[in-house]
A and B are shown apart, each in its own frame.
Chain A
Amino acid sequence: MQAGTRLVVNKQVFLDNLSLCMQKMTVIGPQKLRGGEVTFGPLRSLRRLTLDYVNDLDPLKRFFLPQREVLFAYDLSGKKPRLLQPEQEKPRLLFGIRSCDVQGLAHMDGFFQGACYDELYWARRRNTLIISMACNRPNESCFCICCNGGPWLESGFDLQLTDLGEEFLIDIGSRAGRVFLEERPMPAVTASRRHETRRRELMEACDAQMVPTAYLAKACIQITNNRVREELWEEMGSECFSCGGCTHVCPCCTCFDVVDCPEGAKSGTRVRCWDSCQYSGFTREASGHNPRARAKERVKRRFYHKLSYAYIQQDGHPGCVGCGRCITVCEAFGLLDISAVVKRLRRDGQ
């Protein structure tokens, strides 16, 4: 089998193999909660797995950059100070992740390598096999087609599955993905023209379901050239509830804070947790001066980071994958999510 070749595997056979993986690996997949909402979490069997789901509102970046994680613990009670590192995690398999989240991981990879190389992030990243599920059920707020975030991807995954009903059509994206298939007793056939046609039909059907749009080009020009009126930023700042929801759910947002949590004089932990550029404490300096003390400045900063050419050039793409989560979580509903802001910036220039 070669990377780039599409294969077809019987769905039940693939899932049975996935079930066998659960003995040796932590398999994370989509599962239904009591109220019917779907969220991703560790699976012990196939019983709770669901393949009929709109994407998890809680972004899957949390499996690589948890909302709260202990970086290390220290103990000074003995003769020698002891530094306790987090335990090594079992190999993981992330099954069913949607394309937007895969694309988000690619964005995060860029941030956490190079000057900001982050060992904990990369340990998790290397430890996790990504089997994505091309999106056949977009949410009402999805617009990944505007941001090259899906519904299908060309890269970034180890395996990408397309649900054809009785079978999975598989794109192989990496050597690890190919090895995964080769090591397991899964009779695979090369995709036929019928399979490819069905794939294309599904892609078109999915595209047709996308409701919101985000025509980024004009907004990028407006922001890059600083052509947005200050009054508009002022208005958007006043609307903002500073909840930080947009940054928390954004697959491309990477900001975090590090705090020490002493437990008495002799022991404690250093903890990392998500932070948000929408919080005033995020940029406050030790002197008390805050370059972005007002919500207006913070909102402006967020969209500058997402859409200005300076960052697009650096990252290779805008800081948005079109997952639409910020549309759902924004307290100022319909006013400050990226789709709404792009529209407001575009119209403001006219």
Chain B
Amino acid sequence: MLLEVEKGVVLAAAPQRDHPVSRGTLCIKGWNGHQLIHHPERLTQPLLRINDCLKPVSWNKALSYAAQRITELQQAHGRDCVGVVGSLKTVNEASYLLGKLARTVLHTPHLDAPLRFDHAPSLRVLREQSGFANAAAALADIEKAGAILVIGADAKAQNARAGSLLLQAAKRGVPVIQVDPREQEHSRFFRLHLRPRPGTDLALINALSHILLAEGWQAEGLAGLAKLRDDGLERFTPAYAESVSGIAQDDLRSAAGLIAKASSLLILFGTGITQQANGTANVRALWNLALLTGSIGREGGGLLPLLTANNSQGAVDTGLMSEWGPGQRDLQETAVRRAIEAAWGASLPAEKGLTLQEMIDHAGGRIRALYVVGENLAWSAPESAKTSAALDKLDFLLVQDLFLTETAARADLVLPAASFAEQEGSYTSLERRLQRVRRAIAPLRGCKPDLEIIQLLAGALAAPWPLRKAEEVFLEMQQLMPCYGGISWQTIGHPGGVLWPAHTDDEECTLYRKLLGDRQGAFTEVSTGLPFGDEPDADYPFTLITGRPLFHRRTGTLVTRSFTLDKEDPVATIEINTDDARALKLRSGWPVIVKSRRGEVRRTVVVTRAVPPGTLYLPIHHKDGLSQSLMPSMLEPESAIPQMKLCAAKLEMV
């Protein structure tokens, strides 16, 4: 994306024709997102809470206060009383230094990124199976796929580029099988649309694998088939899947038939299958399905999780997830720890850190101070009332952001950060594409780039960190990140940057071919599945599911500051099936109160056949009617992702 600048003001955004991914296109957010840069609500001074009121202070005072409070609390409660929450939007270099700051200067193991709330299961399974916590496919694979399974995702709304390629594939006649309870705008163009009961994806995916095996439609030369069958797959018969998911056996067989006939299977998936009780089990089942079709490591095949932010992958790569350090390396491995400690010249905390939701749950207890970079936790975490109360229990909440978000408004100290247009660095896209972002304008007066703030804070905490530029930090982090090896700062500045690993092969989509060679990887366990803990009953008869509209992004901090995007989404709605609406005597446009076992919000009814009977669909993160206040925060046991995709709910007239 290019920005047009005049006299220090960003006037416009324009697409780049020679960019290998965008090819001259931008989505609605790309065209209009730049309006936030000069929004009058931008924070331009650090704000310190004095007498329960946030007052402007100088940067020197803000940083020394932060250092003093953190030091006091660490002396009183131990060094691990501090938690750090990274951002999915800051440049890689800032993310890397934030991880280093947390693990060496603050010496706390409690560091996590909001990716925990989206795709923790995807990354966990992919890393377990392949060694790499990232997509096992690239966007270009959508153009080469023999068949495509889209599950738990609205590609059009969540990633316009993926959605565009998917639409083109469907129009070319590539069989696209969509699995989603809700009908989406592009559903009509797909070959099959399976609409399972919410939360029953595991049975459906495993039944597809079951049919492939039973019919002998699996790829040739696969090892471990007997174990896969005996390990639980035999239970997932089409009849069982029908009883659980409501999908007719014939439809399951049709889907399996399309997959079997195709040269490769590409699986696109989103938070619809990860934010569930069976989040990790679902991704494991997808891995097995892709493997059965011989699609892992093959062009036009593999698994492509639709990560939600511009630098989600970069946050994983640079070490912001609790379990992995820079280069996605496992911090529990002694050799890895030693290598990182030697490079950083400091010891790392020995114990395993708390994950994001756990940090919130322990706020005011084990966690006394929280440093949150660019994330509106008060909105993104489930059970909003509980989250807000938890944030209030902290002795010190430090927030770094562009705007006074609902989280920043609760902070003791707020540091004003610079926007993407005001800083240098690199981002890594969901397909491992490492690209530079260049400074288009100087940081607004009073704001500082994240990279500089983190280094200044380290300095205030008495760490001897010189103030370095993004390029210098990039060179340092490369030493600890084999995945970014062999990539030069100049190369990532070209349109499209580099798809890592560039040092092993410069051809796209080859990561898994190189990695797995002929052996194709191994099957993983078949989970029997866990019951969902918030089932509908007589009091809460509906299953409520959430999703993200086209013009929205994460918690809306940025898009609501673009007047064009903000006006696209004026009314907080809830979708209900036509038959249910008739039974409840509801009409489109009427206000209702949506209640779950955790809270309630007021929304406007949209009556539609797009949602199945018994289901409500709630667009997330609207400023009027906070969706997350309804959703449960109980953790999925393996990946510690809150089960916030669905819950039991009821509607009441206002």
Question: A185 in the interface, Cβ–Cβ < 8 Å?
Answer: no
B564 touches A241 (CB 8 A): no
Task: Report which of A58, A263, A279 forms a contact with B14, defined as CB distance below 8 A.
Answer: A58
Q: Provide the bound-state CA to CA distance between A284 and B570, in Å.
A: 10
Distance of B495 from chain A, by nearest CB (Å): 4
Known contacts A241-B28, A329-B25, A335-B171; 19 further A-B pairs (Cβ under 8 A) = A34-B493, A35-B19, A58-B4, A58-B14, A242-B550, A243-B28, A243-B160, A245-B25, A245-B26, A245-B31, A257-B563, A263-B40, A273-B564, A275-B564, A279-B568, A281-B564, A281-B568, A328-B25, A333-B164
Question: B571 in the interface, Cβ–Cβ < 8 Å?
Answer: yes
Nearest residue in B to A241 (C-beta to C-beta)? Answer: B160
B160 touches A244 (CB 8 A): no
Q: Which residues of B contact A333 (CB under 8 A)?
A: 23, 25, 164, 168
Distance of A167 from chain B, by nearest CB (Å): 30
10 A-B contacts (beta carbon < 8 Å): A36-B18, A57-B15, A242-B550, A245-B31, A261-B40, A273-B564, A288-B570, A329-B25, A331-B25, A335-B171
Question: A82 in the interface, Cβ–Cβ < 8 Å?
Answer: no
Whether A328 contacts B563 in the complex (CB less than 8 A), given A37-B495, A68-B12, comes out as: no
Q: Provide the bound-state CA to CA distance between A66 and B15, in Å.
A: 16
Question: A212 in the interface, Cβ–Cβ < 8 Å?
Answer: no
Question: B185 in the interface, Cβ–Cβ < 8 Å?
Answer: yes
Question: A239 in the interface, Cβ–Cβ < 8 Å?
Answer: yes
B27 touches A241 (CB 8 A): yes
Task: Report which of A33, A58, A281, A328 forms a contact with B23, defined as CB distance below 8 A.
Answer: A328
A37 touches B168 (CB 8 A): no
Nearest residue in B to A240 (C-beta to C-beta)? Answer: B185
B40 touches A243 (CB 8 A): no
Q: Which residues of B contact A288 (CB under 8 A)?
A: 570-571, 589
Q: Which of B6-29 contact A (CB under 8 A)?
A: 6, 9-19, 23-28
B40 touches A262 (CB 8 A): yes
Q: Which residues of A contact B468 (CB under 8 A)?
A: none
Q: Which residues of B contact A331 (CB under 8 A)?
A: 25, 27, 160-161, 163-164
Task: Report which of A57, A263, A268 forms a contact with B24, defined as CB distance below 8 A.
Answer: A57
Ranked 5 nearest A-B pairs via Cβ: A67-B12, A281-B567, A35-B495, A58-B14, A328-B24
A243 touches B25 (CB 8 A): yes
Chain B 561-586 against A: per-residue CB contact (8 Å), 1 yes, 0 no?
A: 00110011011000000000000000
Question: B167 in the interface, Cβ–Cβ < 8 Å?
Answer: yes
Question: A186 in the interface, Cβ–Cβ < 8 Å?
Answer: no
Q: Which of A12-48 contact B (CB under 8 A)?
A: 33-37, 39
Q: Which residues of B contact A238 (CB under 8 A)?
A: 185-186, 188-189
Q: Provide the bound-state CA to CA distance between A303 and B206, in Å.
A: 46
Q: Which of A216-256 contact B (CB under 8 A)?
A: 235, 238-239, 241-245, 248
Q: Provide the bound-state CA to CA distance between A239 and B185, in Å.
A: 8
Question: A90 in the interface, Cβ–Cβ < 8 Å?
Answer: no
Whether A57 contacts B14 in the complex (CB less than 8 A), given A33-B2, A268-B40, A334-B168, comes out as: yes
Distance of B110 from chain A, by nearest CB (Å): 38
Question: A106 in the interface, Cβ–Cβ < 8 Å?
Answer: no
* Chain A interface residue count, Cβ-Cβ cutoff 8 angstroms: 45
A-B contact count (CB 8 A): 127
* A positions within 8 Å CB-CB of B: 33-37, 39, 57-58, 62, 66-69, 235, 238-239, 241-245, 248, 257, 259, 261-264, 268, 273, 275, 279-281, 284, 288, 295, 328-335
Question: B156 in the interface, Cβ–Cβ < 8 Å?
Answer: yes
B164 touches A244 (CB 8 A): no
Q: Which residues of A contact B185 (CB under 8 A)?
A: 238, 295
Q: Provide the bound-state CA to CA distance between A3 and B9, in Å.
A: 40
Question: B352 in the interface, Cβ–Cβ < 8 Å?
Answer: no
Q: Provide the bound-state CA to CA distance between A66 and B6, in Å.
A: 11
B167 touches A239 (CB 8 A): yes
Q: Provide the bound-state CA to CA distance between A33 and B156, in Å.
A: 31
* Chain B interface residue count, Cβ-Cβ cutoff 8 angstroms: 50
Chain B 31-71 against A: per-residue CB contact (8 Å), 1 yes, 0 no?
A: 11001000110000000000000000000000000000000
Q: Which residues of A contact B23 (CB under 8 A)?
A: 328, 333
B15 touches A241 (CB 8 A): no
Distance of A120 from chain B, by nearest CB (Å): 14
Q: Provide the bound-state CA to CA distance between A273 and B9, in Å.
A: 14
Question: B494 in the interface, Cβ–Cβ < 8 Å?
Answer: yes
A279 touches B18 (CB 8 A): no
Q: Which residues of A contact B24 (CB under 8 A)?
A: 57, 328-329
Nearest residue in B to A141 (C-beta to C-beta)? Answer: B24
Q: Which residues of B contact A242 (CB under 8 A)?
A: 28, 550-551
Q: Provide the bound-state CA to CA distance between A68 and B3, in Å.
A: 12
Q: Provide the bound-state CA to CA distance between A66 and B28, in Å.
A: 18
Q: Which of B126-166 contact A (CB under 8 A)?
A: 156, 160-161, 163-164
Chain B 178-222 against A: per-residue CB contact (8 Å), 1 yes, 0 no?
A: 000000011011000000000000000000000000000000000
Q: Provide the bound-state CA to CA distance between A94 and B570, in Å.
A: 40
Q: Provide the bound-state CA to CA distance between A66 and B12, in Å.
A: 8
Q: Which residues of A contact B39 (CB under 8 A)?
A: 261
Q: Provide the bound-state CA to CA distance between A235 and B186, in Å.
A: 9
A35 touches B16 (CB 8 A): yes
Q: Provide the bound-state CA to CA distance between A122 and B288, in Å.
A: 64
A241 touches B40 (CB 8 A): no
Distance of B187 from chain A, by nearest CB (Å): 9
Distance of A265 from chain B, by nearest CB (Å): 11
Distance of B199 from chain A, by nearest CB (Å): 27
Q: Which residues of B contact A67 (CB under 8 A)?
A: 4, 11-13
Q: Which residues of B contact A264 (CB under 8 A)?
A: 40
Chain B 91-130 against A: per-residue CB contact (8 Å), 1 yes, 0 no?
A: 0000000000000000000000000000000000000000
B550 touches A241 (CB 8 A): yes
Distance of A264 from chain B, by nearest CB (Å): 8
Q: Which residues of B contact A62 (CB under 8 A)?
A: 4, 11-12
Nearest residue in B to A58 (C-beta to C-beta)? Answer: B14
Distance of B404 from chain A, by nearest CB (Å): 14
Q: Provide the bound-state CA to CA distance between A280 and B40, in Å.
A: 24
Distance of B478 from chain A, by nearest CB (Å): 22
Q: Which residues of B contact A273 (CB under 8 A)?
A: 35, 563-564
Distance of A127 from chain B, by nearest CB (Å): 15
Distance of B47 from chain A, by nearest CB (Å): 15
A259 touches B27 (CB 8 A): no
Whether A37 contacts B31 in the complex (CB less than 8 A), given A281-B564, A284-B570, comes out as: no
Distance of A259 from chain B, by nearest CB (Å): 5
B28 touches A239 (CB 8 A): no
Nearest residue in A to B19 (C-beta to C-beta)? Answer: A35
Q: Which residues of B contact A37 (CB under 8 A)?
A: 16-18, 495
Distance of B189 from chain A, by nearest CB (Å): 7
Q: Which residues of A contact B188 (CB under 8 A)?
A: 235, 238
